[in-house]
């Protein structure tokens, strides 16, 4: 009983003290808890203490647990929560609110995280050089048409160009990137019948760099130039024939190229008709690799199939695009380069594939030349970012063409070069003729540092998951983006649900889903539906595009003059 009564007395004393403190606070006269008669055991404070409190007023007394009554903020004691440890399989049921991946902030700003809204940045070069997220500065992008693949790559081009990286669009089919390159103050080269051509025997920038460097390093660059030209001519022959060249024919072709290089006057590049002339003459160096043993009949039997294929290049479906001098060479000092092949018809698959391969060979040769000059201390170091769009077009051109693409792209492994390969689905590789070609085409995805997926059907995502490793949730998410929009009742334009949405995968890490919202400047620079625009609107868009290009080019020139954002090597 005594304990209960003591507790009740203490509670009454607390209430009395808190009530007096509240009244004093409202009246503006603070009360010291020591003045409480219930606490001190007296009926009031001493006169001297009261006078002292009046001279030195104290702050109002606030109980640590709040006051009793309405609005008093009275709280009870809370026990600390219990900490548990468990595996991810067990804990997910107790605490399902877990995020699978963060939002990297290194690289070009791409968009917002689809679930958290956080800004997501990234590109193959920055993730390779600065963040060290990937071991290979390459990107492979898959997605259904019209969901924004080229829009995302366009954003990477603009962002990288602002940091001093040189974008190279080697084969623009629509064109998707020509206006962007013009806005960046770059060089746009047109290829096609009646538009311009490429001399595949021209060593180009690599030949000029080898002559400028000289010595042993120059000879090494000449040997690399020879291999690149050999691969390009062999690729053209493969396209015309529809099958790969024989091994002895490549030996003959190599001997002919060596002969031409030794007997062509300085300052002039040999042409394909010159190559045919050497095959007709049959010099000793060429005859030696045919094992003719002095027999003209054996020599003709060895070189006639190659001779016919080269004639097919000059007089066949490839026309004169590769028979004359290069119309416009790539400027090694340009801030950006785009090779526009949109003038080639959609049905002209062989010429399209040949033009893309020639553009790739010429562009990658320019990159090799730039780095060779930088290694020799003759020019500053520059980094490059190449775009290989619509990869399915050359893959389907001929059997064995995947070997040529693989050879061209593997030559850049030791260069300061990032690349982006873009196609629609993995079925583009499955459509190839042989198991060997399909396996090599799959290797493009396996070797990529970054894999970006736009909307894809579920079956395609499950197949891709065998290559890059996708969770069930990621497969379901990306598959939902490939669904068509609903039947709108308002009559307004409704975008597909997957437009502007991408999933970024790096190795075995959880994917990063992002949403890309384009700016007005990007919308003017990049419109893949220009053929569906009414004439009046097209005129207005053309004027806006001209203003945007001029404004962007001026900003890029100012940035380069100030030297802001330039990469340091």
Summarised one tens digit per residue, pLDDT across range 245-271 is 888 899 999 999 999 988 888 888 899
Summarised one tens digit per residue, pLDDT across range 472-529 is 999 999 998 887 666 655 555 667 778 899 999 998 888 999 999 888 888 877 665 5
In the prediction, which pLDDT does 446 show?
82
Q: What does DSSP assign to residue 1?
A: -
Cis peptide bond prior to 175, omega within 30° of 0:
yes
SS3 content of the chain, % helix, strand, coil (to 5): 50, 10, 40
- Report the C-alpha gap between 59 and 57 in whole angstroms: 7
Do the beta carbons of residue 139 and residue 449 sit within 8 Å? Answer: yes
pLDDT at position 38 over 50:
no
**What token pair was written down for 330?**
């790539």
pLDDT at position 569 over 50:
no
Alpha helices, H only, 401-471: 401-410, 427-430, 435-447, 458-468
- Report the C-alpha gap between 388 and 382 in whole angstroms: 20
The residue among 303 and 488 whose pLDDT is bigger is: 303
Residues with Cβ within 8 Å of residue 557, at least 6 apart in sequence: 185
Q: What does the pLDDT average to over 167-183?
A: 89
Do the beta carbons of residue 126 and residue 159 sit within 8 Å? Answer: no
Domains of the chain: 99-198+328-485+495-548 (3.40.50.300), 199-325 (no CATH)
- Report the C-alpha gap between 357 and 460 in whole angstroms: 27
Summarised one tens digit per residue, pLDDT across range 399-440 is 666 776 776 556 545 667 888 988 888 777 766 767 777 777
What is the CB neighbour count within 10 angstroms for residue 144? 18
The residue among 79 and 1 whose pLDDT is bigger is: 79
In the prediction, which pLDDT does 336 show?
94
In the prediction, which pLDDT does 346 show?
74
Residues with Cβ within 8 Å of residue 227, at least 6 apart in sequence: 411
The residue among 64 and 160 whose pLDDT is bigger is: 160
Alpha helices, H only, 379-515: 392-395, 401-410, 427-430, 435-447, 458-468, 472-481
Please state, rounded to an integer, the average pLDDT across all residues of the chain: 79
Task: Report angle CA 84, 89, 94 to the nearest 5 degrees.
Answer: 45
**What token pair was written down for 404?**
């040529």
What's phi and psi for 142, nearest 5 deg? -125, 150
Do the beta carbons of residue 177 and residue 170 sit within 8 Å? Answer: no
- Report the C-alpha gap between 434 and 243 in whole angstroms: 11
What is the CB neighbour count within 10 angstroms for residue 539? 11
Q: What does the pLDDT average to over 44-68?
A: 58
**What token pair was written down for 284?**
């000793």
**Dihedral angle sign, alpha carbons of residues 213, 216, 222, 228:** negative
Altogether, the residues listed in the chain come to a count of: 569
Summarised one tens digit per residue, pLDDT across range 360-402 is 888 888 988 998 999 899 999 899 999 988 877 777 766 666 7
In the prediction, which pLDDT does 266 show?
82
What is the CB neighbour count within 10 angstroms for residue 349? 17
pLDDT at position 50 over 80:
no
In the prediction, which pLDDT does 27 show?
56
DSSP character string of 101-133? -----SSSEEEEETTT--EEE--HHHHHHTS--
What's phi and psi for 552, nearest 5 deg? -65, -40
In the prediction, which pLDDT does 240 show?
85
pLDDT at position 534 over 70:
no
Q: Which of 161-165, 388-392, 550-554 has the highest mean pLDDT?
A: 161-165
The residue among 96 and 239 whose pLDDT is bigger is: 239
Q: What does the pLDDT average to over 67-72?
A: 72
Q: What does the pLDDT average to over 237-248?
A: 85
pLDDT at position 558 over 90:
no
Q: What is the pTM of this model?
A: 0.71
Summarised one tens digit per residue, pLDDT across range 471-481 is 999 999 999 88
Please tell me whether residue 338 adopts helix, strand or coil conformation: strand
- Report the C-alpha gap between 138 and 265 in whole angstroms: 40
- Report the C-alpha gap between 415 and 168 in whole angstroms: 14
- The CA–CA distances, whole Å, from 464 to 453, 476, 484 equal 10, 13, 21
pLDDT at position 172 over 60:
yes
507: left (phi over 0), alpha (psi -120 to 50) or beta: left
Go through 447-456 and write b for each residue having 16 or more CB atoms within 10 A of its CB, e for each that does not: ebbbbbbbbb
Residue 37's pLDDT band (cuts 50, 70, 90): very low
pLDDT at position 539 over 60:
no
**What token pair was written down for 57?**
């007023």
The residue among 87 and 128 whose pLDDT is bigger is: 128
Whole-number percent of the chain with pLDDT over 90: 24
Residue 145's pLDDT band (cuts 50, 70, 90): confident
- Report the C-alpha gap between 373 and 384 in whole angstroms: 15
In the prediction, which pLDDT does 23 show?
66
pLDDT at position 463 over 80:
yes
């Amino acid at each position: 009983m005594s304990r209960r009564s003591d507790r009740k007395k203490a509670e009454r004393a607390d209430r009395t003290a808190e009530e007096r403190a509240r009244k004093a606070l409202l009246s503006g006269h603070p009360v010291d808890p020591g003045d409480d008669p219930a606490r001190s055991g007296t009926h009031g404070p001493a006169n001297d203490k009261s006078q002292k409190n009046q001279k030195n007023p104290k702050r109002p007394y606030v109980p640590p647990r709040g006051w009793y009554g309405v609005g008093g903020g009275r709280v009870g004691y809370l026990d600390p929560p219990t900490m548990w440890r468990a595996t991810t399989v067990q804990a997910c049921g107790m605490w399902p609110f877990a995020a699978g991946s963060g939002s990297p902030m290194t690289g070009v700003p791409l968009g917002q995280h689809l679930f958290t809204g956080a800004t997501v940045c990234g590109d193959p070069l920055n993730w390779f050089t600065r963040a060290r997220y990937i071991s290979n500065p390459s990107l492979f992008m898959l997605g259904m048409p019209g969901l924004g693949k080229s829009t995302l790559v366009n954003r990477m081009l603009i962002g990288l160009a602002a940091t001093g990286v040189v974008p190279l669009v080697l084969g623009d089919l629509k064109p998707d990137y020509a206006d962007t390159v013009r806005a960046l103050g770059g060089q746009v080269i047109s290829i096609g019948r009646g538009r311009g051509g490429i001399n595949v025997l021209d060593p180009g920038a690599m030949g000029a760099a080898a002559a400028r460097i000289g010595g042993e390093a120059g000879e090494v660059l000449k040997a690399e130039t020879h291999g690149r030209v050999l691969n390009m001519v062999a690729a053209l022959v493969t396209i015309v024939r529809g099958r790969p060249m024989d091994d002895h024919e490549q030996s003959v072709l190599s001997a002919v190229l060596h002969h031409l290089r030794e007997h062509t006057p300085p300052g002039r590049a040999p042409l394909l008709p010159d190559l045919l002339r050497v095959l007709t003459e049959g010099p000793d160096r060429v005859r030696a690799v045919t094992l003719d043993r002095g027999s003209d009949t054996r020599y003709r039997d060895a070189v006639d199939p190659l001779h016919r294929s080269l004639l097919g290049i000059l007089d066949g479906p490839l026309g004169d695009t590769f028979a004359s001098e290069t119309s416009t060479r790539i400027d090694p000092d340009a801030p950006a380069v785009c090779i526009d092949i949109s003038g080639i018809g959609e049905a002209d698959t062989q010429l399209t594939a040949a033009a893309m391969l020639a553009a790739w060979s010429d562009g990658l040769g320019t990159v090799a030349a730039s780095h060779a000059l930088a290694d020799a201390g003759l020019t500053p170091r520059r980094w490059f970012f190449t775009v290989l769009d619509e990869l399915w077009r050359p893959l389907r051109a001929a059997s064995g063409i995947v070997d040529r693409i693989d050879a061209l792209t593997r030559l850049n492994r030791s260069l300061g070069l990032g690349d982006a390969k873009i196609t629609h689905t993995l079925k583009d590789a499955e459509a190839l003729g042989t198991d060997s070609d399909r396996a090599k085409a799959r290797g493009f995805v396996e070797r990529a540092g970054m894999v970006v997926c736009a909307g894809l059907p579920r079956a395609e995502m499950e197949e891709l998951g065998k290559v890059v490793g996708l969770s069930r949730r990621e497969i379901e998410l990306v598959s939902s983006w490939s669904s068509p929009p609903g039947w709108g009742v308002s009559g307004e334009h409704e975008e597909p649900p997957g437009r502007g949405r991408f999933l970024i995968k790096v190795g075995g890490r959880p994917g990063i889903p992002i949403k890309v919202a384009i700016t007005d400047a990007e919308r003017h620079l990049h419109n893949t539906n220009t053929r569906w625009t009414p004439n009046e609107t097209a005129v207005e868009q053309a004027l806006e595009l001209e203003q945007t290009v001029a404004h962007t080019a001026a900003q890029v020139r100012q940035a380069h003059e100030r030297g802001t954002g330039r990469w340091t090597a």
